[in-house]
């Protein structure tokens, strides 16, 4: 078959429609670019806010901004750069590049990618608009309680942050699950995990970190919002809460977040440096081990953001050592890159200029990081401009420079042209010099005693010159970024035309037409050697002619291959959903829920939340295949069954990783309960808890019955009978469990608004009730899909997903209700508390 005809046939199936149909896009290339473009817009807004702070601080006693405006500006600057720029930009890069580098046609859940994008766009818009209306968050990007409680921040400012950021976090979490499943299950045939391009490993580890890191923050935001909206005192020390619980939950997320931002950029560096060194990456295995180690260690050092809150010194020493150890995996990567360059024949081009910038800035940021890990120095430097300097070096520098290296490296894939040197080189030096001038001075002014987050300073304390230089540097940097933008735009038009694979790279994203087609690969490559050694450009033609796997169009299906997780052997034919407006509608419903919550229209919130849930169930109705197919040929004499007929289909793994995230949220809630019990002031409460044992046991029994009924439905389906009776029984059992939980919440003592003891008990019970409620949605979907013929003895995935969910719900219910029942006993032990 000719390459052109194949291209036409596949493009007809995969392309996003014109005009308004663009709103229905689900393709990873389209969504990935949207993520990056949107993130860049927020970067520009955040950058302008940063410049406003530099204008304000350029001179002492400045009255450019009043303190309230300044507080909003720096809070939104930080929140925007981290939540609306850094993480989404990283996600955009992941969405756009990962399938291409791994030699597959798309991610596993295109509609979820689209939903994640819309959530991000709407959440970001809410936060941006709040700034326009002057009601933006004003408590700093980490929103410490009790300053962010409704006593000290009575307006909607803090609610904007809590709801807007949570909205964006949910989008990040959906993408994280998607990236994990896609990297594990969707790669080029034969691409075993140990042959995967190193970029894939970085994305896998990053996404796994996101799965575990975001839930504590999401829980914290929910608890704080329920304190603000409904008066549940989780963080109010006067009523048995503790302000420090928020800090623990926040930094449990916040510290890994730094590595979540850094690792994908390191992945880009590990991809780019070997290309410019003309040599394959040195120490592939060492780097894989290093980044896995980094992921683990990064979860154990959050307390180094809290060295001054009054935690015993020996405990601090433990976290100090951990924070120093985290330098080891980073050093392994730095020296692996240096060794790659030392053993290669390096050539120089614009991306390498940014690699140089990265080395310079990251080395400085890493070294000040080790300094801050040393407890006594931290006592002086904490919350001073030294810290501001440090985190701009590690987060801004270690993100911006590799990101720009990556842009200059990958833009030819999109434009078919390379950068105009005359503009790219001076742009780099302006950014580099401006960056260092701005942020290096901040180290010094911090050591001279300037604390962060002050809107002005007196002229006689020795900070004038350093601040002025910082501000000048900020303007130089801004001009530099402006030039970069002009250069990138100019490249589209005036750049030097290049052939396919201009850098002579070895990864698959270069083995495709420029710009990439919506189906990415006309046929999927077979991997025989370590993937980093593949001659990408040379394979492009054969792939375009359809000589790889799936080099044909069939049934109008968007087809790609699912592989064995470790070996990469073809295992299933994954049929992906076509463009649809559902993600947009679902995200609009979610946004309505968030906005209604913001303005305290709780009935509307509930209605919109139910509508969102309903749309998710509806989305389930158009997934899968309506009949059994059995093994289908995929090329090269190989036949595999469609994903609907295999045990390890992507949705199965997605639910497992979702439950990992959910379990982390639950563990954080249990941690919070114990933390308050051990450490919070004003315990015990005046009233002792007296949970109703019978009701609690009834809830547990009901959930166990539901889980058992789910098994019954599977057995019935397997023998060809009607599973609906069992599904109905499971529904009844879940309704009973919800009723028991609601009754228990109604009877919680002390009343949840009066003491954190009652509030945590209510939260645990609410968790159980919500999970039973979501279980109902699973069952409704099962019922509908059974009716539509989407489920058969061979296609039993739906029922297995429900069983997994109900098992999880029953298990967490045993722990949650057990903890609630144990509370009277725990409180009785408190006499021993010092």
Partner 1 sequence: MYPSSRDRSVLAVAVQPGLAAALAGCSGPGSTLDPAGPSASSIATLWWVMLAGSAVLFALVMVFFVLVIRRPGWGSGVSAARWIVLGGLVLPAVVLPPLVAYGLVAGERLLPLMGNAPPRIEAEGRQWVWTFRYPDHGGVLTRNVLHLPAGVPVDIVVTSADVIHSFWVPRLAGKIDAVPGHANLLRIQADEPGRYDGRCSEFCGLGHTRMRFAVVVHRAEDFAAALAQAAKEQQ
The footprint of partner 1 on residues 170-209 (CB under 8 A) is none
What's the min distance (Å) between Cβ of 513 and partner 1? 33
What's the min distance (Å) between Cβ of 700 and partner 1? 35
Question: According to CB under 8 A, which residues from 66 to 95 bind partner 1?
Answer: 67-68, 71
Q: For the window 595-624, what string marks contact with partner 1 as x by the rule CB under 8 A?
A: ------------------------------
Nearer to partner 1, 88 or 267 (CB): 267
What's the min distance (Å) between Cβ of 310 and partner 1? 4
**Residue 707 to residue 342: CA distance in whole angstroms:** 59
What's the min distance (Å) between Cβ of 680 and partner 1? 7
HSE of 563, CA atoms in CB hemisphere, 13 A:
25
Instruction: Give 428-466 as a DSSP string.
Output: HHHHHHHHHHHHHHHHHHHHTTPBTT-S---TTSS-HHH
Burial classification of residue 826, based on how many CB atoms lie within 10 Å of its CB (0-12 exposed, 13-18 middle, 19 or more buried): middle
Nearer to partner 1, 315 or 693 (CB): 315
Of 16, 48, 181, residue with least CA distance to 114? 16
In this structure, are residues 130 and 138 in contact, taking their beta carbons and an 8 Å threshold?
no
Question: According to CB under 8 A, which residues from 670 to 699 bind partner 1?
Answer: 680-682
Residue of the chain from 12, 315, 363, 788 that contacts partner 1 (CB under 8 A): 363
Q: Which residues contact 121 (CB under 8 A, 6 or more apart)?
A: 38, 587
Q: For the window 491-510, what string marks contact with partner 1 as x by the rule CB under 8 A?
A: --------------------
**Residue 218 to residue 169: CA distance in whole angstroms:** 7
Peptide bond into 199 cis (omega under 30): no
What's the min distance (Å) between Cβ of 158 and partner 1? 12
Nearer to partner 1, 365 or 473 (CB): 365
Determine the number of helices (DSSP H) and then strands (DSSP E) in the chain: 25, 6
3-state secondary structure of 563: strand
Residue 352 binds to partner 1 (criterion: CB under 8 A): yes
What's the min distance (Å) between Cβ of 236 and partner 1? 9
What's the min distance (Å) between Cβ of 328 and partner 1? 5
Q: Which residues contact 829 (CB under 8 A, 6 or more apart)?
A: none
3-state secondary structure of 497: strand
Nearer to partner 1, 147 or 479 (CB): 147
Residue 828 binds to partner 1 (criterion: CB under 8 A): no
Nearer to partner 1, 317 or 606 (CB): 317
* Positive/negative CA dihedral, 52, 54, 58, 60: positive
Residue of the chain from 19, 348, 493, 686 that contacts partner 1 (CB under 8 A): 348
Nearer to partner 1, 317 or 788 (CB): 317
Of 71, 70, 68, 88, residue with least CA distance to 80? 88
What's the min distance (Å) between Cβ of 313 and partner 1? 6
Could you tell me the end-to-end alpha-carbon distance of the chain, in angstroms, rounded to an integer?
A: 80
Of 748, 753, 717, residue with least CA distance to 823? 748
Residue 48 binds to partner 1 (criterion: CB under 8 A): no
Q: Which residues contact 665 (CB under 8 A, 6 or more apart)?
A: 215, 216, 218, 219
Question: According to CB under 8 A, which residues from 275 to 334 bind partner 1?
Answer: 282-283, 286, 290, 308-310, 313, 316-317, 320-321, 324-325, 327-329, 331-334
Nearer to partner 1, 19 or 310 (CB): 310
Q: Region of 637 please: left (phi>0), alpha (psi -120 to 50) or beta.
A: left
**Residue 89 to residue 412: CA distance in whole angstroms:** 19
Nearer to partner 1, 17 or 451 (CB): 451
In this structure, are residues 185 and 563 in contact, taking their beta carbons and an 8 Å threshold?
yes
Of 259, 268, 323, residue with least CA distance to 291? 259
Choose the stretch contacting partner 1; rule: CB under 8 A; options: 343-351, 515-523, 583-591, 793-801: 343-351
Question: According to CB under 8 A, which residues from 769 to 808 bind partner 1?
Answer: none
Question: According to CB under 8 A, which residues from 373 to 392 bind partner 1?
Answer: 373-384
**Residue 359 to residue 393: CA distance in whole angstroms:** 11
Nearer to partner 1, 328 or 606 (CB): 328
What's the min distance (Å) between Cβ of 171 and partner 1? 28
What's the min distance (Å) between Cβ of 138 and partner 1? 8
In this structure, are residues 148 and 155 in contact, taking their beta carbons and an 8 Å threshold?
no
Nearer to partner 1, 681 or 824 (CB): 681
Question: According to CB under 8 A, which residues from 390 to 449 bind partner 1?
Answer: 444, 447-449
Nearer to partner 1, 160 or 511 (CB): 160
Q: Which residues contact 787 (CB under 8 A, 6 or more apart)?
A: none
Residue 459 binds to partner 1 (criterion: CB under 8 A): no
- Dihedral, CA atoms, 673, 678, 680, 686, nearest 10 degrees? 80
Question: According to CB under 8 A, which residues from 242 to 261 bind partner 1?
Answer: 242-244
Size of the site for partner 1 (CB under 8 A): 88
What's the min distance (Å) between Cβ of 282 and partner 1? 4
Question: According to CB under 8 A, which residues from 144 to 163 bind partner 1?
Answer: 144, 146-147, 152-153
Residue of the chain from 16, 59, 456, 542 that contacts partner 1 (CB under 8 A): 456
3-state secondary structure of 210: helix
Nearer to partner 1, 321 or 830 (CB): 321
In this structure, are residues 738 and 766 in contact, taking their beta carbons and an 8 Å threshold?
no
In this structure, are residues 253 and 219 in contact, taking their beta carbons and an 8 Å threshold?
no
Nearer to partner 1, 335 or 601 (CB): 335
Task: Tally Cβ neighbours within 10 Å of residue 662.
Answer: 21
What's the min distance (Å) between Cβ of 510 and partner 1? 24
Of 274, 218, 130, residue with least CA distance to 667? 218
Task: Tally Cβ neighbours within 10 Å of residue 383.
Answer: 13
Nearer to partner 1, 279 or 564 (CB): 279
What's the min distance (Å) between Cβ of 675 and partner 1? 13
What's the min distance (Å) between Cβ of 453 and partner 1? 4
Residue 450 binds to partner 1 (criterion: CB under 8 A): yes
Residue 830 binds to partner 1 (criterion: CB under 8 A): no
What's the min distance (Å) between Cβ of 586 and partner 1? 37
Question: According to CB under 8 A, which residues from 716 to 755 bind partner 1?
Answer: none
Cα–Cα distance list, 254 to 302, 410, 700, 701 (Å) = 7, 30, 35, 38
Strand partners, 573: 561, 642
Residue 336 binds to partner 1 (criterion: CB under 8 A): yes
Residue 237 binds to partner 1 (criterion: CB under 8 A): yes
Nearer to partner 1, 331 or 770 (CB): 331
Nearer to partner 1, 308 or 621 (CB): 308
């Amino acid at each position: 078959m000719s390459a052109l005809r194949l291209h036409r046939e596949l493009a007809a199936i995969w392309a996003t429609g014109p005009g308004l149909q663009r709103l229905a896009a689900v393709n990873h290339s389209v969504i990935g670019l949207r993520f990056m473009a949107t993130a860049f817009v927020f970067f520009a807004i955040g950058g302008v806010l940063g410049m406003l702070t530099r204008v304000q601080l350029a001179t002492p006693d400045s009255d450019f901004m009043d303190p309230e405006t300044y507080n909003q500006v720096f809070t939104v600057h930080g929140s925007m750069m981290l939540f609306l720029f850094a993480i989404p930009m990283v996600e955009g890069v992941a969405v756009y590049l990962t399938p291409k580098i791994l030699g597959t046609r798309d991610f596993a859940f295109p509609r979820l990618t689209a939903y994640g994008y819309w959530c991000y766009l709407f959440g970001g818009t809410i936060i941006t608009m709040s700034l326009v209306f002057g009601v933006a968050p004003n408590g700093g990007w980490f929103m410490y309680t009790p300053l962010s409680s409704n006593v000290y921040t009575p307006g909607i400012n803090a609610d904007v942050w809590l709801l807007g950021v949570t909205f964006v976090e949910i989008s990040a979490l959906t993408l994280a699950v998607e990236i994990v499943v896609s990297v594990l299950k969707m790669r080029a045939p034969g691409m075993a995990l140990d042959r995967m391009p190193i970029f894939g490993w970085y994305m896998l580890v990053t996404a796994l970190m996101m799965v575990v890191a975001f839930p504590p923050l999401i829980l914290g935001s929910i608890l704080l919002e329920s304190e603000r909206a409904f008066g549940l005192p989780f963080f109010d020390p006067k009523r048995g809460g503790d302000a420090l619980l928020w800090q623990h939950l926040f930094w449990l997320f916040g510290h890994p977040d730094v590595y979540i931002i850094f690792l994908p950029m390191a992945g880009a560096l590990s991809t780019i440096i070997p290309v410019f060194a003309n040599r394959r990456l040195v120490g592939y295995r060492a780097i894989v081990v290093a980044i896995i180690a980094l992921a683990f260690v990064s979860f154990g050092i959050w307390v180094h953001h809290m060295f001054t809150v009054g935690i015993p010194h020996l405990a601090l020493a433990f976290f100090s050592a951990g924070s120093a150890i985290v330098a080891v995996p980073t050093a392994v990567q730095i020296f692996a890159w240096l060794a790659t360059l030392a053993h290669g024949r390096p050539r120089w081009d614009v991306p390498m200029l940014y690699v140089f910038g990265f080395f310079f800035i990251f080395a400085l940021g890493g070294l000040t990081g080790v300094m801050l890990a040393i407890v006594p120095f931290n006592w002086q430097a904490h919350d001073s401009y030294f810290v501001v300097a440090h985190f701009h070096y590690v987060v801004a520098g270690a993100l911006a420079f590799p990101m720009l290296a990556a842009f200059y490296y990958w833009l030819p894939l999109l434009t078919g042209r390379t950068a105009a040197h005359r503009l790219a080189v001076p742009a780099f030096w302006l950014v580099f010099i401006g960056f260092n001038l701005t942020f290096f001075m901040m180290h010094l002014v911090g050591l001279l005693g300037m604390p962060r987050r002050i809107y002005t300073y007196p002229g006689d304390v020795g900070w004038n010159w350093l601040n002025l230089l910082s501000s000048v540097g900020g303007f130089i940097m801004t001009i530099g970024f402006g030039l970069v933008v002009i250069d990138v735009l100019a490249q589209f038009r005036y750049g030097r035309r290049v052939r396919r694979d201009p850098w002579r790279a070895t990864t698959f994203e270069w083995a495709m037409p420029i710009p990439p087609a919506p189906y990415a690969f006309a046929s999927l490559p077979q991997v025989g050697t370590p993937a980093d050694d593949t001659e990408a450009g040379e394979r492009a033609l054969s792939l375009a002619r359809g000589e790889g796997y799936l080099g044909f169009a069939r049934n109008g299906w968007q087809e790609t291959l699912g592989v064995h997780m470790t070996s990469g052997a073809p295992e299933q034919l994954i049929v992906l959903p076509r463009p649809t407006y559902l993600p947009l509608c679902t995200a609009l419903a979610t946004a309505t829920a968030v906005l209604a919550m913001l303005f305290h229209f709780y009935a509307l919130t509930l209605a919109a939340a139910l509508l969102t849930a309903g749309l998710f169930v509806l989305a389930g109705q158009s997934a899968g295949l309506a009949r059994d197919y059995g093994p289908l040929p995929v090329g090269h004499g190989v036949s595999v069954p469609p994903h609907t007929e295999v045990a390890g289909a992507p949705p199965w793994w997605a639910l497992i990783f979702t439950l990992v995230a959910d379990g982390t949220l639950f563990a954080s809630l249990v941690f919070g309960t114990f933390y308050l019990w051990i450490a919070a002031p004003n315990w015990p409460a005046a009233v002792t808890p007296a949970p109703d044992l019978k009701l609690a046991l009834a809830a547990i029994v009901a959930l166990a019955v539901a889980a058992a009924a789910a098994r019954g439905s599977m057995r019935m389906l397997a023998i060809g009978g009607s599973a609906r009776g069992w599904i109905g029984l499971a529904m009844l059992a879940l309704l009973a469990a919800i009723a028991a939980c609601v009754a228990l919440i109604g009877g919680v003592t002390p009343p949840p608004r009066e003491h954190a003891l009652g509030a945590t008990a209510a939260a645990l019970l609410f968790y159980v009730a919500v999970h039973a409620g979501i279980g109902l949605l699973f069952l409704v979907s099962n019922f509908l899909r059974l009716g539509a013929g989407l489920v058969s003895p061979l296609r039993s995935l739906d029922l297995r997903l429900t069983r997994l969910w109900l098992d999880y719900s029953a298990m967490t219910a045993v722990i949650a209700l057990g903890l609630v029942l144990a509370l009277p006993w725990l409180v009785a032990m408190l006499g021993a508390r010092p």
